[in-house]
Chains A and B, each alone.
Chain A
Amino acid sequence: MIVGQQKSLDDIWRMIAPFSRVLVVGCNECMAAAHAGGEAEVAELASALRIRARNEGRELEVFEFTPKRLCEPEYVAEVLAEVARCKADLVLSLACGVGVNSVADQAADLFVLPAVDTLFMGTGAEHGVWLEYCAGCGECVLEYTGGLCPVARCSKGLMAGPCGGTRDDGSCEVSPDVPCVWKLILERATRLGTRERLLEMPLFKNWSKSSSGSPRRLVREDLRIPTEDCKEGDTR
C-alpha cells in the first residue's frame, strides 16, 4: 500500500483560502488503510473545515466524496461529476499524489490541491504504525537479500553490507527507531544458510530505472487495446 499522512489543518486552511466551495475527495483504498484519506477521514477533515469556517466567520461550503480510488481515469470521472453536482471550485484531495495528478491531468480548468503528504510504499505493521518496505527502485534485489530491502530500509541505502554504525541493540546509528536492515539480512541469511547468495548481488545497480531516472512509464503491448491512434509498437 501507499502510505500518506494528512497535512496539518493550518496548511490545508492556508491552501484553500481562495476557495469557497470545496469538495473533499478521499480514496477508499491505500489512503483509507493508511488512516489518512478514507471516507472516515474525509468526513473528519470536512467537519474540521466547517467548524473552523464557522469559528472564523468565513463563508465556506464543504462537500464530501470518496470514490474507491482516485488513481484510474474512470474514478476521476466520478469525481468530476460530483464537482459539477455540487458546483465545487476546488477538489481537495485526500488521495495520494497519484490521485491529485490524475484529477489535474483530466480537468484543465479545475483546481485540485493535496491535503495529504504521500510518504512511501509500506506496511501497516500495527494499528497506527506504518513502515517503508519498498522504494520502487525498478530493479528488485530481494532475491539476494532474503526478502529484506536495503534500498528502502537502510538509512544510507547501502547495497553492500552494513556501514559499521549498527548499535549494540541492532538499531541504525541514524535513528534508534530503525532496525539495521543489513544486520537483519545477515542474520536471516545465516539462519536460512544463504549467505553466499549475498555475494551474488550485482556490483552495480541501474538507478535509471528508479525515480532518479526520467518519469517512469510501463506499457504492456500484450494487454493494450489497439485503437486508431495507438498502433502496435507505439509507446507513447
Chain B
Amino acid sequence: MAQDVLPPCHAACPALTDTREYVRAVADGRYEDALDILLAANPMSAVCGRICHHPCEEACRRSSVDSPVSLRAIKRFVTDATREYRSHRVPGRAPSSGRKVAVVGSGPAGLAAALDLSLSGVDVVVYERDERPGGMLGATIPRYRLPYEVVEEDIDDIRRAGVEIKTGVEIGTDIGLQDLCRDYDAVVLALGLAESRSLAVPGVDLDGVHLAIDFLRRARAGGMERLNGSVLVVGGGNVAMDVARTAVRLGAEDVTAVALESVDEMPAHKWEIDEAHEEGVKIINSYGPVEFTGDGRVAEAVFRRCTRVFDDGGRFAPEYDDADRISLPADTVVLAIGQSADTVAIKGAGIEESAPGRIKAGPGARTSADGVFLAGEVMTGPGSAVEAVASGHRTAAAVLEYLGVPPAPLVHVMPSSPAVPDIEDIPEDVRGRMSRIARVSSPMRSPAARAASFEEVEGTLSEAEARKEAARCVACGLGAEVDPDKCVGCYTCVRICPYGVATVGHTAAEAPAEACLTCGLCAAECPAAAISLQRFGRGLVHERLARALELNPGARVAVLLCQNALASRRFLTSQQAGNGPPAAIVPLPCVERLAAVDIMAPFESGAEKVFLVHCGDACVYPEGRGRFEQTVSRAAALLKAAGLRDDALNVWFGRIESEQDLERIYADSTRVGPREAADR
C-alpha cells in the first residue's frame, strides 16, 4: 500500500514547494536541508517567508481540526536561521551551453527565470531600470512588510548562481529591444505591472492626488513627504492596503480606504485588511469615486454607491446608484485601482499588445517576436510573488526548449497542468479523536508601535516556537504502510489505533493515507513487523543510534528522545546531557512509536543506561501515551531478564528548553521496571 501522495500544501503552492519535507526537516533540526528544499522550488524564499499569501496554509489539512500549520512563519524561520549557511551556498551550474539570454526586469519572475537558465549553463544578464534589483519587491512593497535586506538575501543567492544583474538600465530608453534581440539568443520580458492605472474622473489632476505605485515607490525610497490631515485611498486590493498603512506611518491623521467592492468581495487578503484596521485605517465599502474637488489642491472627494461590481458572468461591470452619494474631506488621495505594464521596452519592436499595458502571450510564453518571451505579471496579470516565481520557472523551461538546452538537474520543473492533491480531508470521526493544539503564529508588534514607524511589523519565530509549530504537521500521507506479505491479519493495529483508522481488509491491514495521523503506534505493536511509517522507518533507530555513537564512541549512556521535546537543535549535538556522563543522543520523530526492540537497541551497542525522553504535555499524540508506557515496561521486563540492573531504563516526560533541563533528565527520570502482570 504505497502512499506516495501529494499533500495539499505542496500542491497549493504555485511554485510547488515541497512543504511537508521542509517542515519535516525543521522538526529533525536539519534547517540547512530545509533551506535547500525551499530554494529548490522558490529562489525568493526569504521574501516569501515575509510576504507570501501562503495558499499552502489555506490548504493545510490541519485546518479542519484546529488551525493550519504556520507554514510561512516556519519558512521565515528557516531563511533567518540559515543565513550563514546560505552565504556560502553556491549552486552548481551546468557547463556553459554557449547560449546567452537577456532578462528584462529583476522582479521575482525575471529572477526565477534567470536562475533556471543560468543553472542550465546559459549566460544570463538581467536588466533592471531601477538602481537596485528586485522589481516591486524592492521598489514598492513597504519596508514594514519587507525590508530590502531580505530581498537582497535571495538576490545574492541568484547572483552566486552566475546571474549578472545590470541596474539603472532601461530597455527601450538606454538600450533598444532590437539590440538585445541581436546580442542575445533569447530575451525574457519580465516587466511586471509597474504602472498604476488612473481614473477618468474630474479632479484627478489636482495636487494631492497620487497614483498608488508612485506613492509607494516614493515612500519606499524615503522621498515621500510627511502627510497631514485626511488621506483617502481609492481601492480595495492589497496595494490599497499597502498605501493606507504607509499613509498612517507618514503621519496622516485620518486614513480611509474606499473600496468599490463589498466587504466579502474585496480583493485584499483578509489579514492585510485586519492589520490595516488594527493600525487605524477605516474602510468604506461599495462606493466608487465620482469627482475630486478643490482649489488647486484636492480638498474633497465625492463617491457614489456601487450596487454591484461584477455582472452575472463575473466580469468587472460596476453599476451605481447615483442618488446615493457621499462626500469625504481629503487632503491627499491615492488611486489604487489596478496596474498595467510599462511597455516602453517594446515600443517600436513590433511586439503585439493584447490591450494597452498587456503584451500578447502565445503558447510557451512566446510573444509575437521570435525569441522574445514573457514571464510574470505582464503575462499573467496581477499576482503574488510566488506566482511570479512559478511563471519564471515555466518561462525558463520554454526558453531552454527554444534554445535546445536541457534543463539542469537543479532546475525546478513545473508540470504543465495544475497540481492536484491526491489526499482527501481528514475524516470527521478521526478529527473528533485528535487533540487540538494551539497554532504558534509569528510575533506581531502592537498596532500602535507598528503605526508609528516603518520598522518591520512581524517578527521571526524563535527556534523553540518554530519546532513546536513544525510538530503540529500531521505529515500527510507519510503514515502507516503495511507489507501485505507479512501481515497476518491479527487485528492488533485495529485494536490499538487511537484514531480508529486501521482496518483489516481481505488481504492485509490497511491504514488509509487520508485518515492516518502517522503516530506509529501500530508499527510499534505489529507482531509481524508488517507495518512501518514512511517518516519513521523500521531501521531509523539503528541508523540514528549509529550516528550518535559516531559522534560519541564508547558512550555508555543513550538518550532516545522525541525531537519535538527539544526547544533547540543544539541539544542534539551535545556530547552529554548536562554534567552527566558522555551520552549518545538519539533524536527521533516520536518515542511513542518505539517498539520494545528499539528501546533495547542501545544496550546491544553496549549502553548501560538508557533514558527515554517523551515530550510530555507537548505531545501531539497524547492518545498514545498509555501504550508507550506499556511498551517501555515490556522492554524493561526483557532487559531485566537479560540481566541488566533495575536502573537501566528510565523515562522522562517534558520539554527540554535549557541545558539545566538536560541535567534534569538524569536527576529526575523515573526508573521503569517490569509491570506486575508482565508475563516474563
A107 within 8 A of B: no
- Rounded to whole angstroms, the CA-CA distance of A199 and B641 in the bound complex is 52
- Rounded to whole angstroms, the CA-CA distance of A40 and B490 in the bound complex is 13
Chain A: minimal CB distance from B655 (Å)? 30
| Count of chain A residues with a beta carbon within 8 Å of a chain B beta carbon | 30
> Restricting to A30-67, which residues have a CB under 8 Å from any CB of B?
32-35, 38-41, 43-44, 47-52, 54-56, 66
Contact mask for chain B residues 476-489; partner A; CB cutoff 8 A; 1 contact, 0 none: 00000000001011
**B residues in contact with A32, CB < 8 Å:** 488, 490, 527-528
A47 and B528 within 8 A (CB): no
| Count of chain B residues with a beta carbon within 8 Å of a chain A beta carbon | 29
A-B interface pairs (CB < 8 A), number: 85
A126 within 8 A of B: yes
A33 and B488 within 8 A (CB): yes
Chain B: minimal CB distance from A182 (Å)? 29
Chain A: minimal CB distance from B524 (Å)? 9
Which of B321-329, B344-352, B597-605 lies on the face that meets chain A? B597-605
B490 and A48 within 8 A (CB): no
B641 and A9 within 8 A (CB): yes
Chain A: minimal CB distance from B184 (Å)? 63
A43 and B529 within 8 A (CB): yes
B388 within 8 A of A: no
**A residues in contact with B604, CB < 8 Å:** 47, 50-51, 54
A196 within 8 A of B: no
B529 and A8 within 8 A (CB): no
A40 and B528 within 8 A (CB): yes
B180 within 8 A of A: no
Chain B: minimal CB distance from A41 (Å)? 6
**A residues in contact with B489, CB < 8 Å:** 33
B295 within 8 A of A: no
> Restricting to A99-136, which residues have a CB under 8 Å from any CB of B?
124, 126-127
Chain B: minimal CB distance from A16 (Å)? 13
- Rounded to whole angstroms, the CA-CA distance of A33 and B486 in the bound complex is 11
- Rounded to whole angstroms, the CA-CA distance of A38 and B641 in the bound complex is 20
**A residues in contact with B643, CB < 8 Å:** 51-52, 55-56
Chain B: minimal CB distance from A33 (Å)? 4
Which of B164-172, B373-381, B491-499 lies on the face that meets chain A? B491-499
> Restricting to B488-542, which residues have a CB under 8 Å from any CB of A?
488-492, 495-496, 526-530
A228 within 8 A of B: no
A5 and B679 within 8 A (CB): yes
Given A32-B490, A52-B643, A54-B606, CB of A126 within 8 Å of CB of B495: yes
**B residues in contact with A29, CB < 8 Å:** 488
- Rounded to whole angstroms, the CA-CA distance of A29 and B490 in the bound complex is 9
Given A32-B488, A51-B642, A55-B644, CB of A38 within 8 Å of CB of B679: no
B122 within 8 A of A: no
Chain B: minimal CB distance from A31 (Å)? 8
**A residues in contact with B641, CB < 8 Å:** 8-10, 48, 52
**A residues in contact with B603, CB < 8 Å:** 47, 51, 54
- Rounded to whole angstroms, the CA-CA distance of A32 and B531 in the bound complex is 13
A51 and B486 within 8 A (CB): no
A145 within 8 A of B: no
A51 and B639 within 8 A (CB): yes
Chain A: minimal CB distance from B239 (Å)? 60
Chain B: minimal CB distance from A190 (Å)? 31
**B residues in contact with A124, CB < 8 Å:** 490-491
Q: Which of A6, A38, A52, A126 contacts B528 (CB 8 A)?
A: A38
Chain B: minimal CB distance from A58 (Å)? 11
Chain B: minimal CB distance from A78 (Å)? 14
- Rounded to whole angstroms, the CA-CA distance of A40 and B639 in the bound complex is 16
Given A33-B527, A38-B528, A55-B643, CB of A47 within 8 Å of CB of B600: yes
Chain A: minimal CB distance from B672 (Å)? 16
Chain A: minimal CB distance from B645 (Å)? 10
A28 within 8 A of B: yes
A28 and B486 within 8 A (CB): yes
Residue of A nearest to B495 (CB): A127
**B residues in contact with A34, CB < 8 Å:** 527
> Restricting to B226-244, which residues have a CB under 8 Å from any CB of A?
none
A127 and B496 within 8 A (CB): yes
Contact mask for chain B residues 191-220; partner A; CB cutoff 8 A; 1 contact, 0 none: 000000000000000000000000000000
- Rounded to whole angstroms, the CA-CA distance of A126 and B490 in the bound complex is 10
**A residues in contact with B491, CB < 8 Å:** 124
**A residues in contact with B597, CB < 8 Å:** 40, 43-44, 47
**A residues in contact with B177, CB < 8 Å:** none
**A residues in contact with B679, CB < 8 Å:** 5-6
- Rounded to whole angstroms, the CA-CA distance of A43 and B489 in the bound complex is 20
- Rounded to whole angstroms, the CA-CA distance of A47 and B598 in the bound complex is 9
B182 within 8 A of A: no
B315 within 8 A of A: no
> Restricting to B575-611, which residues have a CB under 8 Å from any CB of A?
595-597, 600-601, 603-604, 606
A51 and B600 within 8 A (CB): yes
> Restricting to A163-208, which residues have a CB under 8 Å from any CB of B?
none
B570 within 8 A of A: no
- Rounded to whole angstroms, the CA-CA distance of A126 and B495 in the bound complex is 8
A47 and B601 within 8 A (CB): yes
B430 within 8 A of A: no
**B residues in contact with A40, CB < 8 Å:** 526-529, 595, 597
- Rounded to whole angstroms, the CA-CA distance of A126 and B641 in the bound complex is 26
Contact mask for chain B residues 627-653; partner A; CB cutoff 8 A; 1 contact, 0 none: 000000000001101111000000000
**B residues in contact with A52, CB < 8 Å:** 641-643
Residue of B nearest to A38 (CB): B527
- Rounded to whole angstroms, the CA-CA distance of A32 and B600 in the bound complex is 20
Chain B: minimal CB distance from A87 (Å)? 21
Q: Which of B496, B528, B595, B644 contacts A28 (CB 8 A)?
A: B528
**10 sample A-B contacts, Cβ–Cβ < 8 Å, listed by A number:** A39-B529, A40-B528, A40-B595, A44-B638, A47-B604, A48-B600, A48-B639, A51-B639, A54-B603, A56-B643
Query: Which residues does A use to contact B, with CB under 8 Å?
Result: 5-6, 8-10, 28-29, 32-35, 38-41, 43-44, 47-52, 54-56, 66, 124, 126-127
Known: A39-B529, A44-B597. 8 other contacts (CB 8 A): A28-B488, A38-B527, A38-B528, A39-B530, A51-B643, A52-B641, A124-B491, A127-B492
Query: Which residues does B use to contact A, with CB under 8 Å?
Result: 486, 488-492, 495-496, 526-530, 595-597, 600-601, 603-604, 606, 638-639, 641-644, 679-680
